[in-house]
A and B are shown apart, each in its own frame.
Chain A
């Protein structure tokens, strides 16, 4: 089975701290994504990457950056955490070729990282 592993299930940080959220997938997926999920707002895309060292802004990139130095690892960085970044963060990955052959846009998600910023 494809596994997407997020390094921390729960984190508590203070305002102004630099926060790293790590995500690793083990199935050689090209695409990787970071979403955040808040009550009543659904999942919102922060950044995604379709290749090593490549990144694209999603719908809400402000206050975040990302790093993808290796294909299997995609990191989300909060340079200076703020209380409005308290949220559930979800990492996902997918194959490019799934769509080319079948139209499937199958994202595999990690279990999520719940970040609280005090």
Chain B
């Protein structure tokens, strides 16, 4: 897996868009970018993944730069329930996912 770098913590006002950056400058051409989140006292939860194109689902949007060296997870209208640790992972899609320490996102009322 390519190394990913995320800020350790971020704050976002409730109702605003939360933009979580991830740097993966050594990513290979066939490595996907995955995002998971972990709400306190629970196991991590899958959010979204992408390879080259931007992706959107009911939870979030994923924007991947053209050179694929970085990406941004966007939570369009953050709520208090989005307070969690967010993990960005670059992976070939094999069985082993390596989770780093992620970004602790705090949604401020």
Interface size class of B (residues with CB under 8 A): 20 to 34
- Per DSSP, chain B at the interface is loop
Contacting residues of chain B (14-41) with chain A, CB-CB under 8 angstroms: 32, 34, 36, 41
- Cβ of B101 < 8 Å from any Cβ of A? yes
- Cβ of A74 < 8 Å from any Cβ of B? no
The interface of chain B, by Cβ under 8 A from chain A, is 32, 34, 36, 41-46, 49, 51, 87, 91, 93-102
Structural contact, A42 and B99, CB atoms closer than 8 A: yes
Known: A35-B99, A42-B100. A103 touches B32 (CB 8 A): yes
Known: A41-B101, A42-B101. A103 touches B42 (CB 8 A): no
* Number of CB contacts from chain A to chain B under 8 A: 60
- Top 8 nearest A-B pairs by Cβ distance? A109-B43, A43-B99, A99-B93, A42-B101, A106-B46, A42-B99, A105-B93, A42-B100
The interface of chain A, by Cβ under 8 A from chain B, is 4, 31, 33, 35, 40-45, 48, 50, 56, 58-59, 90, 92, 94, 99, 103-112
- Of A31, A92, A103, the most chain B CB neighbours within 10 A belong to A103
For B96, the chain A residues whose CB sits under 8 A away are 45, 48, 58
For B44, the chain A residues whose CB sits under 8 A away are 43, 90, 92, 107, 109
